[in-house]
Amino acid sequence: MNIEETLTKRFLRYVAIPSQSDDSVKTIPTSEGQTTLARLLAEELKELCLTDISVDEHSVVYATLQGNAEAPVIGFLAHLDTVNVSLSPKISPQIIHYTGGDVVLNREKNIVIKLSEHPELEQFKDEDIIFTDGTSVLGADDKSAIANIMTMLEILHNDPTIRHGTLRIAFVPDEEIGLCGSKVMDLDKFKVDFAYTIDCSGLGQVVYETFNAGTVKIRIKGISAHPMSAKNELVNPMLVAHDLISMFDRGQTPEHTEGREGYWWFSQASADPLYCSLTMLIRDHDKKRYEWRKQFVKDAVDMLRKIHPRAEIDLDIQDVYENIANNVVREDRPVAMIYQALEELGIESVTYAMRGGTDGSQLSARGIVTPNYFSGAFNFHSYAEFLPISSFKNSLDVTLKLIELSVR
């Protein structure tokens, strides 16, 4: 069995199924492609002789591999959806042997990844890398993880002498739009001692800290009037929104923050002469700062109502997910096992406070310690997303090593 070839074939098979999530849809899953992929995976799990295989009404896939050794019950989880960033839903991957310098993804459309903008390419010189054709994301977030888990199961299926405990598998929809799939998981079907997500992150990265995340919806109703008689009558909802946006520090936005710095981000807006709707995302690793940010929004809206007493302003703030570190510490066995696996494999560990969230954020809040480790890809949510086959294989090596460590 050529593992790199098997991983690559699986990955290319999965990315051929468009499965973007859609936050305008209120049912789970939000796209038919996720259901198509879920059913394909269920069939493949049957071929690998797993048990308790099911696909529920939300297209969450559950399966169990019975153990042949005494060990904790470990869960492995990945998400079915890819991000919707207004690029093509159709993914056209290509494997390029990278020899250095810039990478021409699409000569016809003059789409190039410049080494000066993506110096991370340099470490994979003289290696095979999976790229897009520049018109879409690659979908390594998170189909590389699905391929990782399925290849691990194939290896165990083909070699029954490998000792392992019972493993429970889950593939969930709509992670990209608020961890929706992990929120509706039936944990009676995912009874584990602890679990792992494999999501995002370059070679060697370990994640047990994510953002605390909230979404703010603000709806402003102004007063419309014809310009000939608008003086002292018209209330322009867009200008009311402008006054609100100006209350927030531009230095605390995604484009001006990094590391553990939190932010607020006015990410969507729509308006007409009578209404203006805004969506703002709140993010902070520190729980107290996160709560302060929510209060700042409430105070800003209260001030806006005083400035514009004739406007009607509605505010809704929803918590989306928690920081994994609210419920998990580095000394917890599942986290410590990742570092041990990396050390034994000779892979340098990089502890990464993720500026985002994983399904592990939700599962950890629901009582299942669920840290995350790297999938091996880079530049997620971008036309420049790429997956070096060597680090893809390294991610699978970590999966197998974790299983080995669990039975020692």
Q: Catalytic positions, please?
A: 81, 175
* Chain Cα centroid distance, residue 2: 29
Any idea what the Cα angle at residue 357 is, between residues 351 and 359, rounded to 5°?
A: 105
Cα–Cα distance measured from residue 71 to residue 167, given in angstroms and rounded to the nearest whole number:
10
Bridge partners (DSSP) listed for residue 221: 275, 312
Cα separations (Å) of 172 from 31, 74, 76?
A: 12, 17, 11
Cα–Cα distance measured from residue 135 to residue 131, given in angstroms and rounded to the nearest whole number:
11
127 contacts 98 by C-beta, under 8 angstroms? yes
Long-range contacts of 337-345 (CB under 8 A, 24+ apart): 337/402, 337/405, 337/406, 338/196, 338/206, 338/371, 338/373, 338/398, 338/402, 339/206, 340/405, 341/398, 341/401, 341/402, 341/405, 342/204, 342/206, 342/398, 344/401, 345/394, 345/397, 345/398, 345/401
81 contacts 10 by C-beta, under 8 angstroms? no
* Contacts of 407 by beta carbon, 8 Å cutoff, 6+ apart: 69, 70, 71, 163, 164, 165
Please report, as a single letter, which amino acid is at residue 116: S
